Amino acid sequence: MTYVLLTNPSVLAKLSIIIRTTFNSEADINSITVNNINYLLTVLNEALRLCPPIPGFFARTTPPGSYVVAGNFVPGNISVSVSQRGASRSSSNFLRPDELLPTRWIGIPEFNDDKRKAVQPFRVGPRNCLGRSLACVEMKIILARMIRISIWSFLRRVRAG
């Protein structure tokens, strides 16, 4: 997230203005208040799209028999998977897939054809992450605090211990 923001200064600047005008102090940042900032969520979604936490594969095994998966014949008992990074960066799923564009998550007509459901950083189905909601809130709180005190100051604090 830090890398994505530092390499996209216009998004960082916009998010900084929103965070610094919304929160008067670090104490104002909590699990309730961060959920009121829609742009924070869109930046988080977009960062998870560009840099999924697990860029590898989540394999599933097909049941016995034969199946058609994404238009392809797949025999039974075969391991199948989708690369999160590949799906999230595919031009068949996203317009301008390699750009950080938080507005793609808020219904801008330019991005109507984006396949947002292709982004599944916490897995999908019966094996998805039980802690997804908690993780998202924690990420928003940490990001808001980093932005509020400035990323550079935050990194100095972390390094100092």
In DSSP notation, 140-160 reads HHHHHHHHHH-HHHHHHHHHH
CA distances, 28 to each of 1, 31, 36, 120, 146 (Å):
22, 10, 12, 30, 13
Model pLDDT, residue 55: 62
Model pLDDT, residue 79: 85
Q: Under 8 Å CB-to-CB from 58, ≥6 apart: which residues?
A: 81, 82, 84, 123, 127
Q: Under 8 Å CB-to-CB from 72, ≥6 apart: which residues?
A: none
Task: Give a yes or no: residue 46 inside a domain.
Answer: yes
Task: Give a yes or no: residue 89 inside a domain.
Answer: no
Task: Give a yes or no: residue 63 inside a domain.
Answer: no
Model pLDDT, residue 58: 73
Mean pLDDT by 10 residues, the chain (161 residues): 90 93 92 94 94 77 83 87 86 96 94 92 76 89 90 65 65
Task: Give a yes or no: residue 113 inside a domain.
Answer: yes
Task: Give a yes or no: residue 83 inside a domain.
Answer: no
Model pLDDT, residue 4: 92
Task: Give a yes or no: residue 71 inside a domain.
Answer: no
Task: Give a yes or no: residue 60 inside a domain.
Answer: no
Cα angle for residues 135, 146, 128 (degrees, 5° grid): 15
Task: Give a yes or no: residue 134 inside a domain.
Answer: yes
CB burial string 141-159: b at 16+ within 10 A, e below: bebbebbbeeeeebeeeee
Q: Under 8 Å CB-to-CB from 134, ≥6 apart: which residues?
A: none
User: Which domain does 144 fall in, by range?
Assistant: 2-53+95-160
pTM score, whole prediction: 0.81
Model pLDDT, residue 27: 92
Total count of domains within the chain: 1
Of how many residues is the chain composed? 161
